[in-house]
Chain A
Amino acid sequence: MCGIIGFIDRTKSRMDGSSIKAALSLMNERGSGDGAGYAAYGIYPEYADYYALHVFFDNLGEPKKKVDELLQQLGEIVHQEEIPTTPQPGIKKVHIPWRYFFKPSEDLMSGKVASEKDVVTYIVMEVNANVKGATIFSSGKNMGVFKASGWPEDVANFYRIEDYKGYIWLGHNRYPTNSPGWWGGAHPFNLLNWSVVHNGEITSYGTNQRYVEGYGYKCSLFTDTEVVAYLFDLLGRQHGLSYETVVKALAPPFWDDIDRMSAKEAELNKAVRLTYGSALMNGPFAIVVGTENGIVGFTDRIKLRPLVVGENGSRLYISSEEAAIRVLDPEVKNIYTPRAGEPIIGRFIE
C-alpha cells in the first residue's frame, strides 16, 4: 500500500523538489516510515555527459576501495564526493551516500560488451552482487535517485531535496509488506536512466527474475521492484521496444480481448504475449517509470492498485491519489483514472 508520484515538464522546465516532498507527505497514510525516495532528472547539467553513480557505502574503507578500483579499471572518474546530507532525527545514517561522475572507457571491455551503457550495467551488477558494503542505487546521466529508510519529508530533508531542480520527478512513500525495509529496498529502483516507483507487489517475481538473469542482470536488492527496472532496460533498451510495447508485454490484454481485436492488432498482441510471456508481471501494481525521454505510468491488468492522471499545459502528473497531484498543482486539469494496463506516457517536446 505505497504512495507513488510521477511528474514531467515536457518542455524541460525544471522544478525544485519541495513540492514533490509535500505531495508525497500528503500520502503518509500509504507509508510506514520504513522507506521513501525520489528520482530527479536534469539535476546534474554540469556533468550531463557522465554517468552519475550514487552508491551506499557501509564505510569508506574496503568497500569504497573496491568500487574505486573497478571504476578506474573500466573508465574515468571525473569527480566524486559524499552526497550532501543534513542529519535528521527520523533517520539513522546507516550508509554513507556517495556519488561518482564516471565515463566508461569502451576499449577496456575486451569486446565482451557493446556500449557505454553495457559497461555501466556490468558495473552496477558486479558491485551489487559481489562487493560487500557497497550498493549502486542510481546510475543514469544527468539524473539521480535519493532514498533511505524514513518518512518522505525526513528523507527529503536529509538529502536537501529542495536544492535539486529537475524536469522529471518520481517520488515514493513506502509501506514494506513482504521484503525488508532497508535503504537499498526503498524506491525508486534504478538502472541507467530507468527509475521505477511501484505500489503493490510483483507476484511473478520468480519468473521475471529468472528471465532477466538469463540476460546477465542480477537481482540482489531483496525487493520485487528491482526486476521491473531490469525488464524495462532489457525490453526498452536492449530489444528496442517502444514504451507502449514494453507495457503491452508486462501488462498484456487478456486472450479473449485479443480475440476481439482487428486481425492486425491481434497478431501484434499475440506476438508480444508469446515472445514475452516470461516478462508478464502478475500481482497488484501501479508503477511509474522515469526514462531518458519521459515518464511511463501503468497498472496491472485488473487494476488492483490506484493510479490517477492529471495535466496542466506542458506538465503531466501521475499519482496514487488525486489530492497529491493537487498539492503539486492546485490548477491541474483533465484529472482521470486510466484503464488497467493502459500506458500513460509523457514525452519531452522537441
Chain B
Amino acid sequence: MKTVKIDARGMHYTPLNQKIRNAVADGAEEIILDNVLGQRFIGDGLRGNVRIIVNGVPGGDLGMFMSGPTCIVHGNAEHAPGNTMDKGMLVIHGSAGDAVAHSMRGGKVFIKNNIGYRGGIHMKQYEVEARPILVVGGTAHSFLGEYMAGGLVLVLGIGKDKAMTDRGIGSGIHGGEIIIRGEVDDFLLGGGAKKFKFTESDLERIAPIIKSFCEQFGYDAAEFLDTNYTKIGPVSSRPFASKYVWE
C-alpha cells in the first residue's frame, strides 16, 4: 500500500489540501496527517478510495462534499464534520462540535463520544442508494436531526444513564429517522417529531450499522443488538403543510 506522510504543523489549510490532492493524484492509498491543529476543510470535495489518517484536532467542515474516501481522526473534530458529504466514511475517535453531518447526503459519520448542537441538521436522502448515516457513541445536545429530510441518526448513549437529555430532538423533521438507545422522554421531542415503536425488523435493518460502528471503536456489538431503542420520525409525510398553505 502506498502511504504518504504529511507534517501539518503550522500549515494553512490551502497548501495542506493541495498536498493531499497531489498525493491522491500520485496514487497514494493512505495519507497520514500529523500535527493537525485547527486546519479547516480537510479532504473537502475529495474523491476516490484513499484513506486519510488525521492525528490531531482538525478544524471545521472536515470532509465537506467528500465523495468516497475514508477519514479517521485521532482527536476531536470541530464544527460540521461531514458537511454535505456524499460518499465515504468519517470516523472520529473523540467528540465533535455543532452541526455534525450538516446536510449530509450519503456515506457514514461515526463519532466515538459526544456531539454538539444540531447534529444531522438538514440530512437528506435519495432512495436507498444515497442514504447518509450518523452514529454517535455518547450523547448529543439539542436539536438533533433538526429539519431532517432523510437518512439515519443513531445515538447509543454509551456510558450514560440516558442516551439523550437535551430537548428539541427532530425539531422540524420531515423525513428520515432518529434512533436513540433506550427510552426518550416525551418533552425532549421537537415540533413535528413523533416516537415510533422500534421493531425486530428495525433492528435487522440497523444491525450492520451497529456492527460496523462497534468494529471501528472496539465495542462488543452484541451489547447493542436488541430492541431497546426509541425510533423518532416525522408525525406525517407533510408535518408542516399547514404552515405554508391554506385552504
Chain A interface (Cβ within 8 Å of chain B)?
26-27, 29, 256-257, 260, 302-303, 306, 308, 321-324, 326-327, 335-337, 339-340
Pairwise interchain contact A323-B37, C-beta atoms closer than 8 A: yes
Measured in the bound complex, the distance between the Cα atoms of B116 and A306 in whole Å is 9
B contact residues around A260 at 8 Å (CB): 187
Check B182 for interface membership: any CB of A closer than 8 A.
Answer: no
User: When A27-B38, A29-B59, A321-B38 are in contact, do A306 and B98 touch as well, CB less than 8 Å?
Assistant: yes
Pairwise interchain contact B59-A321, C-beta atoms closer than 8 A: yes
Pairwise interchain contact A306-B97, C-beta atoms closer than 8 A: yes
User: When A303-B116, A322-B57, A339-B141 are in contact, do A256 and B78 touch as well, CB less than 8 Å?
Assistant: no
Task: Pick from A26, A303, A326: contact of B98, CB below 8 A.
Answer: A303
Task: Pick from B37, B97, B143: contact of A302, CB below 8 A.
Answer: B143
B contact residues around A257 at 8 Å (CB): 167
Main secondary structure of the interface of B (DSSP, over half): loop
B contact residues around A337 at 8 Å (CB): 95, 97-98, 114, 116, 141
Q: Which 5 A-B pairs have the closest CB atoms?
A: A323-B38, A303-B117, A337-B116, A323-B37, A26-B38
Measured in the bound complex, the distance between the Cα atoms of B116 and A340 in whole Å is 10
List 18 additional A-B contacts (Cβ < 8 Å) besides A26-B37, A327-B37: A27-B38, A29-B59, A256-B187, A303-B116, A303-B142, A306-B79, A306-B116, A322-B38, A323-B37, A323-B57, A323-B59, A324-B38, A326-B37, A326-B38, A327-B38, A335-B76, A336-B95, A337-B95
Check B34 for interface membership: any CB of A closer than 8 A.
Answer: no
Query: Which of B37, B40, B60, B166 has the most chain A CB atoms inside 10 A of its CB?
Result: B37
A-B contact count (CB 8 A): 56
A contact residues around B98 at 8 Å (CB): 303, 306, 337
Pairwise interchain contact A308-B97, C-beta atoms closer than 8 A: yes
Pairwise interchain contact A322-B78, C-beta atoms closer than 8 A: yes
A contact residues around B141 at 8 Å (CB): 303, 337, 339-340
Within 8 A of A (CB), among B57-88: 57, 59-60, 76, 78-79
Measured in the bound complex, the distance between the Cα atoms of B141 and A181 in whole Å is 34
Contact with A along B183-197 (1 / 0, CB 8 A): 000010000000000
Measured in the bound complex, the distance between the Cα atoms of B78 and A302 in whole Å is 18
Pairwise interchain contact B142-A323, C-beta atoms closer than 8 A: no
Measured in the bound complex, the distance between the Cα atoms of B62 and A323 in whole Å is 14
Within 8 A of A (CB), among B183-240: 187
Listed by A's residue number, 28 A-B pairs whose Cβ atoms lie within 8 Å are A26-B38, A29-B40, A29-B59, A260-B187, A302-B117, A302-B142, A303-B98, A303-B116, A303-B117, A303-B141, A303-B142, A306-B79, A306-B116, A321-B38, A321-B59, A322-B57, A323-B38, A323-B57, A323-B59, A324-B38, A335-B76, A337-B97, A337-B114, A337-B116, A339-B141, A339-B166, A340-B117, A340-B141
When C-beta atoms are compared, the residue in chain A nearest to B58 turns out to be A323
Measured in the bound complex, the distance between the Cα atoms of B165 and A260 in whole Å is 13
A contact residues around B59 at 8 Å (CB): 29, 321, 323
What is the distance, in angstroms, from A337's C-beta to the closest C-beta of chain B?
5
Measured in the bound complex, the distance between the Cα atoms of B111 and A337 in whole Å is 15
B contact residues around A340 at 8 Å (CB): 117, 141-142
Within 8 A of A (CB), among B142-201: 142-143, 166-167, 187
What is the distance, in angstroms, from A23's C-beta to the closest C-beta of chain B?
10
Measured in the bound complex, the distance between the Cα atoms of B58 and A323 in whole Å is 8
Measured in the bound complex, the distance between the Cα atoms of B169 and A14 in whole Å is 44
What is the distance, in angstroms, from A308's C-beta to the closest C-beta of chain B?
7
A contact residues around B57 at 8 Å (CB): 322-323, 326
B contact residues around A322 at 8 Å (CB): 38, 57, 76, 78, 97
Within 8 A of A (CB), among B87-120: 95, 97-98, 114, 116-117
When C-beta atoms are compared, the residue in chain A nearest to B79 turns out to be A306
